[in-house]
Structure 1
Amino acid sequence: MRTLNRRNLLKGSVAAACLTVPAVRAVGQTNSLSEIGKLLAPVPRARIFTARDIVTLDPSQPSAEAIAVVGTQILAVGALSEVQEMLGDQPFDVDERFADKVIVPGFISQHDHPVLAALSMSSEILSIEEWALPTGTVPAVTDKADFMKRLTAAVEARTTPGEPVVTWGYHPAFYGPLTRADLDGISTERPILVWGRSCHEMILNSAALTAGGVTQAAVEAFDAASQKQANLAEGHFWEQGLFAVLPHIASLVATPEQLRAGLELSRDFMHSKGITFGNEPGGILAKPVQDGVNAVFSSADMPFRWSFMVDAKSMVASYADDGEVIARSEALQSWYYGMTSLAPRQAKLFSDGAIYSQLMQVRAPYLDDHHGEWMMEKELFERAFRVYWDAGYQLHIHVNGDAGLDRVLETLETNMRRNPRFDHRTVIVHFAVSAFDQVERIKALGAIVSGNPYYVTALADQYSEVGLGAERADSMVRLGDLSRAGVRWSLHSDMPMAPADPLFLMWCAVNRVTTSGRVAAPEQAVSAEDALRGVTIEAAYSLQMEEEIGSLVRGKRANMTILAENPLEVDPMAIREIEVWGTVMEGRVLPVRSSDRAAATQQDASAGPREAVSPNGAPAFDKAALEHALKVTHAHHL
């Protein structure tokens, strides 16, 4: 690093801009140069980062070699000489640590679930794919016999009486049905809870049912829709049935200690993948649970900010008065502080079931004639849509099947005709199975899409034979059609539905390579630049934050991801192999490698601390309250 000092700040245009309007007026009313000096706001020292290449995603200046940062914002972008000239007499340092690296806009995690990621990643992972975590790599399950063997070993390794074993990642479409009887064959004394790969279903052994008080009478107390999505004899609960049983078993699924450890693991994983901003679309609607999340995610040492969206499903189910729904939604702002916040006037809704459990609603029958499920009953869905639409909210809607998408688009069109809104940016979230005619309708209605391209990689081969058939399975997440139609789209991982790894999401979208190595529906592939936009500026657009983050433009937050290679120039198959050096988040340099972290922390110490305590002074992590919430709340996957 080299330091350049400039004198006579009054000559610099940037310094002159530091005069406030009252100060300018006051200058004309005084003859004393010393008094004029006192009216000048102090000019902060800038830092100029240089790099082998800077991909700005600014159409007027796509590439640069230097970027100047003051505090948390970008001050200038361009050639080094141009940036220095723009700074004028403002003092600055030139930071050359990224001279052999590539800077891209900070990656945005548009749709991820911290609590679900925390609980799944800290459980016994027995999944369809390998998971490489900061704590080590967990190999994929090969078949049902392998699953049973590894689960049995995990159960036998427990020594504390009554301690439950929770495993995540089983997929019936890959390994065959799993029932209560299968799990009782491992143990009838220790509670075993198998959380499906979809996070939308769970299989319990008899000991877990007993520990949670899940009896026939308890199931009969569920509402009608939930009873249809529950099978006590097989210990199987899915979609709304899972929502209904969770209050009984939540304390078996999660402890405050496990939640905190899992959140820290998820935080470190996401930072290692270059994420600088993230969003939870519809978090668990329980204040003690959110306090537990805030204990980690609101902390001043968080390497990224995280926003949370209103859970519209729970709100409309809880309050009969439409005005109270909105008032309660806006009151949620008080739940967040420090590095967490409420996404302003945005809400999450559900249409149909999960892709991983093949419970999405589809137009043509499944190959085995099973049926999909609705996540919200039609009347409740339409009421929720209307209430939040009329209040001016942006709606993000979970939908996976083409019949589920029909319901969403019909409801959107009804409300557009009833109460026209423009730039509403209704987000079609997941976008698994769709039809070409629906792409044109999405465009006509002004909606946008947030797709998960990992579905193709992970599921297309298996779903070609089980459930969907080759044509529907291969054309999942038809991003190519969206681009040709002019529909704006972004990418998300839905962690833990896919790794929260933007480079990997880009790789999936660009290559569409399945687990067998073939390319599924190559006409739906997109360019590397469009995929990069999908995890940066388009993700920001989907969160109504494109004026703040997503590209490297003066005035935006200084959020950057530092890479070893340029993802727009490497072989498309090598995108996922690019090393992430770290991030710059609002001016803070945050290396991934521990060997670089201490030096960066010392250099950035002048940035000062961030607010990290609850505004009302209450403790950020109330274990007793959280334990109670885990037992009684209708916690659910969003």
Structure 2
Amino acid sequence: MLMRKTQYAAIGRRSFLRLLAYLSASAAPGALFADSGTLQQMGSTLVSTPEVTIFKAKRILTMAGDSAKAEAVAVVGARILAIGKLDDLIKAAGTQSYRIDSQFEDDVMIAGLIDQHVHPVLAALTLTVEIIAIEDWVLPGGTAKAALDPESYLQRLTDAVAAAPGDAPFVTWGYHHYWHGQVRRPELDAISATRPIIIWHRSAHEFILNTAALETLGITPEFISTFSDAAKEQSSFEAGHFYEQGGFAVMPKLAAVLATKDRLVAGLNLTREYLHSAGVTLACEPGGIVSKPLQDAQNVILGAADNPFRMYYMPDGKTMAQLHIDGDMIGETKAVLDWGSGRTAYLPGQVKLFADGAIYSQLMQVTEPYTDGHKGEWIMEPELFDRAFDAYWDAGYHIHIHQNGDGGLDLVLDALERSMRRNPRANHRTTIVHFGFAREDQVQRIQALGAIVSANPYYVTALSDRYAEIGLGPDRANRLVPVGDAAKRGISISFHSDMPMAPGQPLFLVWAAVNRTTSSGRVAGPDQRLSVEQALRAVTIDAAYSIEMETDVGSIEPGKLANFTILDADPFEVAPEAIKDIKVLATVSEGVAFPVLPPALKKASLDTSFRIAGIPPLGELLAAKGIAERGLRQGCSCCQPAQTSSCQPGALTASSAGCCSTNALGWSVAALWSTRLSQAT
């Protein structure tokens, strides 16, 4: 038996030297891996002890508050056994078998990176259409260059529509009115009166359609008359413009075009590859679309045994409130908890609510008027928000709330204070999501009420320059995402990409928070910058804390899951402006290594027709490689489908024990993969 959980708890965050001292007090040799007695004495009760894998690295960043210079991590199965000097780990292993994995010995290992808030379906659907955005998007299949002015945008859009084959609806994502000018139904009709055109705003909260699209999809004045009052106000049939609640209301009509099976499957595979390439070992989607078929599609790809990261979800409390506020809202929320499968799962006791509008649309609620006279919007009307917040609070939920403007934050903090006064709760971790703009007095209030922050520091890079000119003015634009103030007050801070609202790259988010460099190259709000240590915590241990998973992930400590990200450079040693350029070489997910492919192979792996000399596509090879690794670690001698006892050589499925394969294909996968890797490089 491995050490009991009580022993792990007793060790806590002690350094490895203290761990060895603790273990050496045991009377028997080999006690690192036993509760009592020698392995020989335990032979009557244990058939065998599992093999220990000892990963070596040039530098190990544990993110556990321990500055000790560890050089190796001992792993049993999916969990970490110990960290420290290689010789000490070998000595402590005693008679238990071990192997040394040296593939990362020249690299830097950090606790597995976490994207606390990402939208796989939204990323899948936006990143597989024509991208004409306010920034470059570098994807496995190529780079979509930015368009930064109205003339460039309209020319790109016109050319793309003309070049599109056939007459199917044309969809593009990335438009932003502050860069690209006002584009509405008349402008799109001028581009094409016959082909349906759908513009998906950079915020993903707005749609603009031409007449052909409105007619094809059946979006009529009669259909709009069925919307709620708020959705009607946020819709314009004449302009073909639907935003916030209006955008959500037309989504069922748009889904048939936006979420085709082929696009969804290709996009989910792209998203999976993208996040793995960024070093993500765990991701979470709070408040995605409540749809069992969409969840089933994600389970197939992101829930697969060979997916290099686990994907967690939270129920969308907004939808639950809209449908069930006067019924069994809590029961309906719990009903989706079993929708996950394999490496996807829902987090119990956590839920997502929404306050004000999208920051990319500049529809957040602000207390000081916008400089151009427009106004913000609500995603959940305050009355509905308050009722839902109170109900989830009383049911003991950890509530995550989308907030962007200080007006929206006032609504959130008022609800939290009201609930604390009438029904106090400890360690509630109410999470302010996005943290787009907040006043200093609100940061003080966040601290006093015991809330935490999950911020998107990319807002500063993407938006501060233009928002200083339009809408917010320089002072508020420089104060976007004021994580410096939050850090000074000791508030727990995590980062998220909200992909596709920012690139799903944790190290890029670290760079954004450490430097606060805008698109023009200036520094916006230098007093709001974080240290490298603070920013790295925000994508490791503090990100884990924000979703109540800090006892399992977020740092390299005994008993936690063996999730690591392998880098080619140390973020503490490179210049701050170079952090975003650090390369991710591999990830380790629960003890299994997943190399990150070079660009040539990334592109090939997304091509399902990629076959050379009868060798399967690289995606299949990597799947087999991951399965084979897990199987060999657990002593499997054949490959078999789950719940099947007989061997079926040649299968690429995991057994009911979660492992498989020493058949010819399983043994040859590594060689084939290595050959293809060397060819590409």
Does the pair score TM above 0.5?
A: yes
CA shift, 1:41, in A, is: 4.8
CA distance in 2, matches of 1:146, 1:605: 53
Task: Please show how residues 14-413 of structure 1 align to structure 2 within 5 Å.
Answer: 14-17=32-35, 37-161=43-167, 163-321=168-326, 324-413=328-417
2:68 & 2:399 partners in 1: Cα distance? 32
Cα distance, 1:160 vs structure 2: 2.4
Please tell me whether the aligned partners of residues 589 and 604 of structure 1 are also in contact (alpha carbons under 8 angstroms). no
Amino acid at match of 1:82: D
For the 8 Å contact 1:165–1:193, the answer to whether it is kept is yes
Contact 1:451 1:477 in 2 (8 A): yes
Q: CA deviation at 1:320?
A: 4.0
Distance 2:69 2:449 in 1: 34
Tell me how far 1:328 sits from its aligned partner.
1.6
Q: Does 1:530 align with 2:548?
A: no
Superposed CA deviations along residues 288-333 of structure 1, whole A, max 9, x for unmatched, are: 11111212111111110001101111112111445x2111211212
Please tell me the residue identity of whatever aligns with 1:110.
Answer: Q
Residues 241-250 or 537-546, more deviating: 241-250
Question: For the structure 1 residues 428 and 110, does the alpha-carbon distance in structure 2 shift closer, same or farther, using more than 3 Å as the test?
Answer: same
Distance change (3 Å), C-alpha of 1:450 and 1:302: same
Paired amino acid for 1:151: L
Alignment partners' CA distance in 2, 1:397 and 1:593: 36
C-alpha distance in 2 between matches for 1:605 and 1:128: 46
| Counterpart AA for 2:298 | V
Measure, in 2, the Cα distance between the counterparts of 1:92 and 1:537: 28
AA paired with 1:549? V
Q: Contact conserved, 2:123 with 2:500, CA < 8 A, in 1?
A: yes
Contact 1:193 1:253 in 2 (8 A): no
Residues 107 and 560 in structure 1, CA contact (< 8 A), matched pair in contact too: yes
- State the SS of the aligned residue for 1:118: helix
Letter matched to residue 606 of structure 1? L
Q: Distance in 1 between matches of 2:287 and 2:566?
A: 30
Distance 1:415 1:54, change over 3 A: same
Higher mean Cα deviation, 144-153 or 97-106? 144-153
In 2 relative to 1, CA 603–253 (structure 1 residues): closer, same or farther, beyond 3 Å?
closer
**Separation in 2 of the partners of 1:398 and 1:523?**
25
Instruction: Quickly say closer, same or farther: Cα 1:259–1:18, change in 2 above 3 A.
Output: farther
Which piece of structure 1 moves more, 572-581 or 57-66? 57-66
Question: Does the Cα contact within 8 Å between 2:51 and 2:633 map onto a contact in 1?
Answer: no
In structure 2, the gaps of 5 or more residues are 1-26, 602-617, 644-681
Give the AA of the match of 1:311: D
One-letter amino acid of the counterpart of residue 504, structure 2: A
State the one-letter code of the partner of 2:417.
E
Q: TM-score, normalised by structure 2?
A: 0.84
Residue 611 of structure 1 and its aligned partner are, at CA, apart by: 12
CA distance in 1: counterparts of 2:240 and 2:322, whole angstroms: 26
* Distance in 2, Cα, partners of 1:503 & 1:18: 43
Give, in whole Å, the separation in 2 of the partners of 1:197 and 1:240: 16
- Counterpart contact for 1:183–1:192, Cα < 8 Å: yes
Structure 1, 72-81 or 140-149: larger mean CA deviation: 140-149
> What are the ranges of 5 or more consecutive residues in structure 1 without an aligned counterpart?
1-8, 28-32, 615-638
Map of 1:497 onto structure 2: 501
Cα separation, 2, equivalents of 1:437 and 1:85: 55
Shift of 1:60: 3.6
Secondary structure at 1:178's aligned position in 2? coil
Does structure 1 retain, via aligned residues, the 8 Å contact 2:277–2:584?
yes
Aligned-pair CA distance for 1:17: 2.8
Stretches (4+) displaced over 3 A:
60-63, 594-605, 607-614
User: Could you tell me how far apart the structure 1 residues matched to 2:640 and 2:121 are?
Assistant: 22
State the Cα distance separating 1:389 from its structure 2 match: 0.6
**Aligned match of 1:438 in 442, 466, 471?**
442
Contact 2:148 2:179 in 1 (8 A): no
Q: Measure how far apart 1:486 and its partner are.
A: 1.1
Post-superposition CA distance 1:483-531 (Å, at most 9, x none):
1111111111100000000010000000000111111110000101111
- Whole-angstrom distance in 1 between the partners of 2:462 and 2:128: 22
1:342-395 Cα offsets, whole Å, 9 max, x none, are 012100000000000000000100001100000101111011101111111100
Match of 1:13 in 2: 31
CA distance in structure 2 between the partners assigned to 1:613 and 1:219 by the alignment: 49
Q: Note the C-alpha offset of 1:603.
A: 4.6
Aligned to 1:360, the other structure's residue is in SS state: coil
Q: Are the aligned partners of 2:592 and 2:629 in contact in 1 as well (CA < 8 Å)?
A: no
Moved more, 246-255 or 69-78: 246-255
Q: Secondary structure at the match of 2:65?
A: coil
Deviations 1:396-416 (A, max 9, x none): 000000011000000000000
Q: CA deviation at 1:84?
A: 2.0
Q: Distance in 1 between matches of 2:47 and 2:630?
A: 22
CA contact (8 A) 1:339 1:612 kept: no
Determine the C-alpha separation between the residues in 2 that align with 1:264 and 1:234: 35
Name the CA shift for 1:136/1:446 in 2 (closer, same or farther; >3 Å). Answer: same
**Deviations, residues 34-75 of structure 1 (Å, cap 9, x unaligned):** 9x6231252101111111100101224554111011110000
Matched, 1:474 2:478: yes
Kindly state the Cα deviation for residue 613 of structure 1 after the two structures are TM-superposed. Answer: 8.8
Preserved CA contact (<8 Å) 2:235 2:246: yes
Whether contact under 8 Å (1:348, 1:396) holds in the other structure is: yes
State the match for 1:628 in structure 2: none
Match of 1:447 among 422, 444, 451: 451
Q: Secondary structure at the match of 2:335?
A: helix
User: 2:421 maps to which residue?
Assistant: 417
User: The residue matched to 2:453 in structure 1 has which SS?
Assistant: strand
Partner Cα separation in structure 1 for residue 29 and residue 70 of structure 2 = 26
Post-superposition Cα deviations, 1:253-294, rounded to whole Å, max 9, x if no partner, equal 220111111000010000000000000101211111111121
Contact 1:338 1:612 in 2 (8 A): no
In the alignment, which residue of structure 1 is the partner of 2:15? none
- 1:579 lines up with 2:611 in the alignment: no
2:572 maps to 568
Identify if the C-alpha distance between structure 1 residues 393 and 611 changes in structure 2 by more than 3 Å, giving closer, same or farther: farther
Superposed displacement of residue 147, structure 1: 1.5
2:632 alignment partner in structure 1: 606
- Counterpart of 1:54, as a letter, is I
Is the contact made by 1:105 and 1:550 (CA closer than 8 Å) also made in structure 2? yes
What is the CA–CA distance in structure 1 between the aligned matches of 2:451 and 2:200, rounded to whole Å?
33
Distance 1:226 1:413 in 2: 29
Q: What's 2:19 paired with? A: none
Partner Cα distance (2:250, 2:64) in 1: 49
- CA gap of 1:505–1:612, structure 2 versus 1, over 3 A, is farther
The residue that corresponds to 2:563 in the other structure is: 559
Cα deviation for residue 18 of structure 1 reads: 8.3
Cα offset, 1:248, TM superposition: 1.8
1:621 aligns with none
Pairwise CA distance, 1:89 = 2.2
Query: Contact 2:457–2:481 at 8 Å: present in 1 too?
Result: yes
Secondary structure of 1:526's counterpart equals coil
RMSD: 2.2
Provide the rounded CA distance (Å) in 2 between the counterparts of 1:175 and 1:278: 32
Counterpart Cα distance in 2 of 1:310 and 1:497: 20
